Amino acid sequence: MVRLWLVVVVAAVAFTVYAVIDCATMPRPRIRSLRRGLWILLIVILPVLGAVLWFLLGRAPAAPERVARYRGPEDDPDFLGEQAPERPRMDKDQDDVTLRDLEDQFHDTDDDGRSDR
């Protein structure tokens, strides 16, 4: 029975110490309800209950982490510096004309290929 109480006391002390360290190192925007000093005082005065209250009421949920998306160097204008090629803007009419020219070239090439056979 003494061993059981010893394990319970050690677990309670470890939980309280963990709560104090967590509260002391938590960034200010993530602390809710009370100020940091009051939370630490509450955790120390009411060891297990104060720690449970800290984890339930004192901590704000963490903001979702942004997933880093791979960007190649060609996607980063700062990496390319002044070597970045200027891409000319084409309006809708120019785009249609270019597409028609390409289609005509394709059909011309296709017709030439059939006449040789």
Write the pLDDT tens digit of every residue in 27-59: 998 999 899 999 999 999 999 999 999 999 999
Q: Dihedral sign for Cα 23, 28, 29, 33, please.
A: positive
Count of structural domains within the chain: 1
Question: 15 is written with which tokens?
Answer: 């939980």
**Does the predicted TM-score (pTM) go above 0.85?**
no
Beta bridge partners of 59: 31
Residue 94 lies in a domain: no
Rg (alpha carbons) of the chain, rounded to whole number: 34
**Which residue range is the domain that position 42 belongs to?**
2-58
Mean pLDDT estimate for the chain: 81
Residue 93 lies in a domain: no
What is the C-alpha separation between 59 and 18, in angstroms, rounded?
14
**Residue in the block written with tokens 């677990």:** 11
